[in-house]
């Protein structure tokens, strides 16, 4: 049943010390978020605003995200 792929929000922890960057679509170290303009607080960053609104809309069909998923932003 590979229908249910894990869906990562921007900032979700993938594994110990590794996080998902929705902007770059990469598994990154925590320092990645501070090296670039990657903060949801940065209202000038259209990409991140778009990612956050997508995330608020929920997880796409065929994917799942645990309710207790860890995210560095939260
Ligand atoms: Zn990034």
CA of 4 to the centre of ligand 1 (A): 25
Determine, yes or no, domain membership for 64: no
Q: Residue 51: count other Cβ atoms within 10 Å of its Cβ.
A: 19
pLDDT tens-digit profile of 44-58?
Answer: 567 777 777 777 788
Confidence bin at 65 (pLDDT 50/70/90): very high
Number of domains in the chain: 1
What does the pLDDT read at residue 43?
A: 47
Average pLDDT, integer, range 24-30: 90
Residues in CB range of 4: below 8 A, 6 or more apart: 62, 63, 64
Statement: residue 14 has pLDDT above 90:
yes
Determine, yes or no, domain membership for 39: yes
CA of 32 to the centre of ligand 1 (A): 6
Cα–Cα nearest to 48, from 65, 67, 56: 56
| Range(s) of the domain holding residue 25 | 5-59
CA of 34 to the centre of ligand 1 (A): 9
What does the pLDDT read at residue 41?
A: 55
Determine, yes or no, domain membership for 67: no
CA of 45 to the centre of ligand 1 (A): 12
Determine, yes or no, domain membership for 65: no
Residues in CB range of 35: below 8 A, 6 or more apart: none
Percentage, residues of the chain above pLDDT 90? 34
Cα–Cα nearest to 65, from 15, 10, 13, 6: 6
């Amino acid at each position: 049943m590979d229908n249910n792929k894990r869906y990562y929000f921007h900032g979700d922890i993938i594994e110990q010390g590794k996080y998902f960057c929705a902007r770059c679509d990469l598994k990154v170290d925590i320092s990645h978020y501070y090296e670039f303009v990657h903060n949801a607080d940065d209202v000038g960053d259209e990409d991140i605003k778009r990612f956050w609104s997508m995330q608020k809309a929920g997880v796409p069909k065929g994917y799942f995200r645990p309710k207790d998923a860890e995210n560095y932003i939260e």
